[in-house]
């Protein structure tokens, strides 16, 4: 049996050795596989697109089953060459438009990685791939294992060969008006014969389909687009060059208002695609530019400043306040500019140094920042001391090292721009083309003319771009006020003495002033004292100011009047008449403040006090004589007067209710009523308990 079992095994082994040697060449021949690579453009419905214009350069990497890079030369069809050589496992092939390239005889189980790296245009030139290409024949590493004949079919989205963009000009937070127009200028050019047949543009609300202007192989769009209307450009071949620079003008983008170009208006670009914010300025058109672009126009921000200087010793008090009224009128919207306005005040040197930085650094300690709120007329007030300066509004100079980013909120997102000083109302800015009026409100001063100073007390200016207006208000005092003092007397006339008091922040006022009228001469004042008081400016700023008191005296008769001339403007005055006995005194205008070129009218009227007949009761003393001669009636007077006190005793009956025995009775009655039932209840309980216990006792006895 063992012999019989060995024989079949030997036969089988012999057959395997014979036929195995014959089959070896057949198995080796079957390990060669073909690999095909092709590109097909399809539309949204999956249909093949006609006239597909591109071929592709494909990078191929191959690693054999043993892990070594593939080497050697292989035949290939459908490519620009008939053979291809792998060097260190790599080669590039060019697949012509509409062709499929096939590698022949690649080793079994080779891992092949394929990547399209360039596209080939119709003229044979190559550029980057901008269209969407996809395949399901490769894994996530763009690889496959060649264990049989394989093919890689790439699908090209035909719509991605061309793209479209929409431009929407609008304005940022009410900066401009709907009647503005945006001048859109863009140039496209291509040196390799891209298909431009579908290139066109439309404007929202206009049914016309426009074609770009062709000039020197360039396509040019140069059109004014109404504000808040979309300009849509269709059929833009991906890979085409573009630029929206207009080299005929220094400005890149143009906004027209009332037919005039606003070269220095701010511009912001934003796209709604996932690529985030980028600039549509120049480059090569790809799919990341597709979609809606919003051009936000924000007017430039402008500033103004006012500085308070004095050129008169009588104005040299460092604590006194001078008021300025600022009025803003928006000429674009034709209305007052309302809202918040940033105001920074402080010593002139510090503010001037800060204004050269415009940086985000913390405000110096000697400067004060506030957001002034305008009224319905676009007005607000600023109060300054001597040698102080106020910056009105806010902007940034981006050439400065410490300049901050300007942040604008666009559709709940943020965009940062570093080039323009753009108006942002939340920051207390003033938009360009706003008429700014600054006027000194206080009377009694005049403004000296100078380089940045008007000849009047106000300056008016409408800046068109980001610039600053400086109003250097240099004051001298006016000495053209006057006081007219008139005396009126009803009754006996005579000389009446007056003290004229001046109250002023200056201790350097002139002390002699001329007067004319029924009397004439010079009135000499003496500095008699000083006092401190709080002065409040029109912007509610307060300051402790020392005022100096000057006094002079003069006498007038009834019917006389004098006019004191050359008095200082903005000086407080008071006229006091020394109390004249035998007269009542009435006055008008005895206190006030001198206004320039005005006369203060003061009138004192004295009326003589004369005795009246009702005030002489001489007969009445006879009664006193009778009383002294007859003392007997006095007791009767006492008795008769005392009964008047009896009514005061009448309230005593009201005290009788205070004796309140009734609550005591109630308590007593209540206690008695409760005690009796309690005693009865306890007694009954004791009897019942005793009966029960006795019954129990007797039963146990019987049982025992």
The mean-pLDDT minimum among 420-429, 495-504, 598-607 falls in: 420-429
Beta bridge partners of 170: 296
User: What is the spatial distance between Cα 321 and Cα 213, in angstroms, rounded to a whole number?
Assistant: 65
Lowest mean pLDDT among 2-11, 527-536, 602-611: 2-11
CA distance 194 to 196: 6
Choose the weakest-confidence range: 24-33, 312-321, 429-438, 450-459.
24-33
Give how many domains the chain has, as a whole number. Answer: 4
Q: CA-to-CA distance for 203 and 222, rounded, in angstroms? A: 12
- Of 34-38, 212-216, 227-231, 657-661, the poorest mean pLDDT is in 657-661
Residue 664's pLDDT is 35
Which letter does DSSP use for residue 558 in this model? Answer: T
CB atoms within 10 A of CB 207: 6
- Same domain for 486 and 463, yes or no, is no
CA–CA gap between residue 347 and residue 76 (Å, rounded):
85
The per-residue pLDDT for range 459-479, each reduced to its tens digit, is 888 888 767 788 888 888 999
Q: How far out from the chain centre does Cα 262 lie?
A: 24
CA–CA separation, 259 vs 180, rounded Å?
A: 8
Q: How far is CA 274 from CA 131, 291, 414, 417, 503, in A?
A: 17, 10, 15, 19, 71
- 669 lies in some domain: no
Mean pLDDT of 153-165: 92
pLDDT confidence of residue 248: 46
Q: Report pLDDT for 679.
A: 43
User: Is 651 inside any structural domain?
Assistant: no
Last residue of a domain, one of 442, 476, 510: 476
| pLDDT value of residue 384 | 96
- Rounded Cα distance between 484 and 515, Å, is 9
Does the structure show a pLDDT above 70 at 377? yes
Q: Is residue 495 located within the same domain as residue 564?
A: yes
Range with lowest mean pLDDT among 50-54, 102-106, 338-342: 50-54
Question: Are 490 and 591 in the same domain?
Answer: yes
Query: Distances in Å between the alpha carbon of 514 and those of 14, 147, 498, 658?
Result: 152, 122, 16, 83
What distance in Å separates the CA atoms of residue 704 and residue 686, rounded to the nearest whole number? Answer: 27
If asked whether residues 471 and 489 sit together in one domain, one would say no
Amino acid 171: pLDDT: 86
User: In whole angstroms, what is the distance from residue 264 CA to residue 249 CA?
Assistant: 12
pLDDT at 251: 46
Mean pLDDT of 128-152: 95
Between CA 528 and CA 415 the distance in angstroms is 65
Tokens of 201: 């543009």
The span from the CA of 38 to the CA of 300, in Å, is 55
CATH number at residue 184: 2.60.40.1140
Lowest mean pLDDT among 325-329, 602-606, 667-671, 697-701: 667-671
pLDDT digit string, tens, across residues 616-632 = 555 544 444 333 333 44
Tell me whether residue 638 is in a domain: no
- Please tell me whether residues 315 and 459 are part of one structural domain: yes
Q: Which of 143, 149, 148, 73 is nearest to 111 (CA)?
A: 143
* Residue 671 covered by a domain: no
CA atoms within 13 A on the CB side of 137: 19
Residue 275 falls inside a structural domain: yes
Q: For position 671, what pLDDT does the model report?
A: 39
pLDDT level of residue 685 (50, 70, 90 thresholds): low
Give 511-524 pLDDT, tens digit per residue: 999 999 999 999 99
Q: What is the domain range of residue 490? A: 481-608
pLDDT of residue 628: 37
Average confidence (pLDDT) over 586-595: 96
Domain shared by 328 and 463, yes or no: yes
**Angle CA 213–219–220, to nearest 5:** 60
Looking at the DSSP assignment, which residues form a beta bridge with residue 25? Answer: none
CA distance 439 to 379: 11
What is the arithmetic mean of pLDDT over 246-252? 47
Q: Give the chain's mean pLDDT.
A: 80
Condensed to tens digits (0 to 9), the pLDDT of residues 379-395 reads: 999 999 999 999 999 87
User: CA-to-CA distance for 391 and 468, rounded, in angstroms?
Assistant: 9
**Long-range CB pairs of 509-514, under 8 A, 24+ apart, other chains included:** 509/314, 509/548, 509/550, 509/568, 509/571, 510/479, 510/566, 510/568, 511/550, 513/564, 513/565, 513/566, 513/567, 514/564, 514/565, 514/566
Residue 513 sits at the vertex; the CA angle it makes with 508 and 518, to the nearest 5 degrees, is 160
> If you write DSSP's letter for every residue of 157-226 in order, what string do you get?
EGGGGEEEEEEEEEESTTSS-TT-EEEEEEEEE-SS----TT-EEEETTEEEEE-PEEETTEEEEEEEEE
Torsion of CA 516, 520, 521, 523, to 10 degrees: -60
Alpha-carbon distance of 481 to 595, in angstroms, equals 6
Same domain, 244 and 388: no
**Cα→Cα distances 517→486, 494, 553, 565, 573, Å:** 10, 18, 16, 11, 20
Angle, CA 363 vertex, CA 462 and CA 348 arms, to 5° = 60
Of the residues 476, 494, 521, the one at which a domain ends: 476
Say what the pLDDT of residue 357 is.
63
Q: Looking at the structure, do residues 470 and 425 belong to the same domain, yes or no?
A: yes
Highest mean pLDDT among 20-24, 203-207, 651-655: 203-207
pLDDT at 663: 39
Q: With a cut of 70, say whether residue 265 has pLDDT above it.
A: no
pTM: 0.69
Q: Who has greater pLDDT, 326 or 190?
A: 326
Whether 283 and 320 map to the same domain: the answer is no
For residue 358, tell me if it sits in a domain: yes
User: Residue 85 sits in a domain of what CATH number?
Assistant: 2.60.40
CA 528 to chain centre: 53
Q: How far apart are CA 253 and CA 159, in angstroms?
A: 30
Residues 281 and 318 in one domain: no
In our burial notation (b when 16+ CB lie closer than 10 A, e otherwise), range 167-205 reads bbbbbbeebbeeebbbbbbbbbebeeebebeebbbbbee
Q: Is residue 418 part of a domain?
A: yes
Of 383, 397, 390, residue with least CA distance to 367 = 390
Task: Compute the average pLDDT of residues 334-349.
Answer: 95
Pick from 392, 404, 381: nearest CA to 434: 392
Q: What are the φ/ψ torsions at residue 501 (nearest 5 degrees)? A: -115, 135
Beta bridge partners of 417: 406
Check whether 636 has a pLDDT greater than 50. Answer: no
DSSP string, 73-131: EEEEESBSSSEEEEBTTEEEEEE-TT-EEEEEEEPTTEEEEEEEEEEE-TTS-EE---S
pLDDT attached to residue 700: 65
User: Is 467 within a domain?
Assistant: yes
Q: What is the pLDDT of residue 453?
A: 54
469 and 491 both lie in a single domain: no
Last residue of a domain, one of 593, 608, 623: 608
pLDDT for res 703:
60
Sign of CA dihedral 620, 625, 631, 632: negative
Residues 66 and 213 placed together within one structural domain of the fold: no
């Amino acid at each position: 049996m063992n012999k019989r079992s060995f024989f079949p095994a030997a036969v089988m082994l012999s057959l395997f050795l014979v036929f195995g040697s014959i089959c070896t060449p057949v198995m080796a021949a079957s390990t060669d596989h073909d690999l095909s690579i092709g590109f097909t453009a399809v539309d949204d419905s999956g249909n093949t697109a006609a006239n597909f214009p591109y071929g592709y350069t494909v990078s191929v990497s191959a690693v054999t089953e043993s892990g070594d890079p593939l080497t050697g030369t292989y035949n290939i069809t459908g490519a620009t060459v008939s053979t291809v050589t792998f060097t260190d496992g790599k080669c590039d092939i060019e697949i012509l438009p509409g062709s499929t390239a096939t590698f022949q005889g690649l080793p079994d189980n080779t891992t092949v990685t394929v990547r399209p790296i360039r596209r080939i245009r119709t003229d044979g030139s190559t550029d980057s791939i901008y269209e969407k290409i996809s395949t399901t024949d490769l894994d996530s590493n763009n690889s496959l294992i060649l264990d049989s004949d394989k093919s890689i079919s790439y699908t090209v989205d035909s719509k991605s060969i061309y793209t479209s963009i929409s431009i929407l000009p609008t304005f940022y937070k009410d900066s401009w008006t709907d009647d503005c127009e945006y001048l859109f200028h863009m140039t496209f050019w291509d040196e390799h014969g891209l298909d431009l047949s579908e290139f066109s543009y439309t404007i929202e609300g206009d049914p016309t389909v426009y074609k770009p202007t062709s000039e020197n192989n360039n396509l040019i769009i140069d059109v004014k687009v109404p504000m808040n209307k979309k300009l849509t450009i269709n059929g833009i071949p991906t890979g085409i060059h573009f630029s929206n620079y207009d080299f005929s003008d220094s400005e890149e983008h143009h906004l027209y208002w009332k037919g005039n170009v606003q070269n220095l208006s701010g511009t912001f670009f934003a796209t709604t695609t996932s690529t985030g914010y980028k600039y549509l300025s120049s480059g090569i058109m790809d799919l990341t530019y597709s979609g809606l672009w919003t051009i936000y126009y924000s007017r430039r921000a402008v500033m103004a400043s006012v500085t308070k200087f004095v050129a008169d010793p009588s104005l040299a008090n460092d604590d006194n306040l001078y008021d300025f009224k600022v009025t803003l009128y928006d000429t674009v919207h034709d209305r007052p500019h309302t809202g918040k306005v940033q105001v920074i005040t402080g010593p002139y040197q510090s503010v001037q140094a800060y204004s050269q930085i415009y940086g985000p650094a913390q405000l110096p300690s000697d400067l004060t920042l506030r957001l002034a709120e305008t009224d319905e007329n676009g007005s607000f007030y600023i109060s300054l001391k001597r040698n102080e300066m106020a910056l009105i509004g806010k902007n940034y100079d981006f050439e400065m090292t410490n300049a901050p980013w300007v942040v604008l909120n666009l559709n709940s997102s943020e965009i940062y721009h570093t080039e323009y000083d753009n108006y942002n109302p939340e920051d207390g800015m003033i938009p360009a083309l706003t008429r700014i009026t600054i006027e000194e409100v206080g009377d009694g001063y005049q403004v000296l003319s100078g380089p940045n100073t008007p000849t009047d007390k106000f300056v008016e200016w409408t800046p068109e771009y980001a610039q600053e207006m400086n109003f250097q208000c240099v004051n001298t005092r006016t000495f053209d006020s006057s006081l007219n003092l008139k005396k009126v007397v009803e009754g006996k006339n005579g000389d009446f003495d007056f003290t004229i008091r001046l109250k002023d922040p200056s201790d350097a006022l002139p002390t002699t002033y001329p007067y004319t009228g029924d009397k004439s001469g010079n009135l000499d004042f003496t500095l008699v004292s000083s006092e401190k008081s709080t002065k409040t400016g029109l912007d509610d700023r307060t300051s402790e100011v020392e005022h100096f008191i000057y006094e002079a005296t003069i006498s007038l008769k009834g019917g006389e009047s004098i006019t004191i001339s050359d008095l200082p403007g903005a000086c407080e005055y008071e006229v006091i008449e020394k109390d004249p006995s035998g007269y009542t005194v009435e006055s008008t205008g005895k206190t006030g403040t001198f206004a320039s070129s005005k006369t203060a009218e003061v009138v004192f009227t004295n009326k003589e006090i004369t005795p009246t007949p009702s005030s002489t009761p001489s007969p009445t003393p006879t009664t006193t004589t009778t009383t002294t001669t007859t003392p007997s009636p006095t007791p009767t007077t006492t008795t008769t007067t005392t009964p008047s006190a009896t009514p005061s005793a009448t309230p005593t009956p009201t005290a009788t209710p205070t004796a309140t025995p009734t609550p005591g009775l109630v308590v007593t009655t209540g206690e008695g009523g409760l005690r009796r039932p309690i005693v009865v209840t306890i007694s009954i309980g004791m009897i019942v308990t005793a009966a029960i216990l006795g019954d129990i006792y007797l039963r146990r006895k019987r049982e025992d």
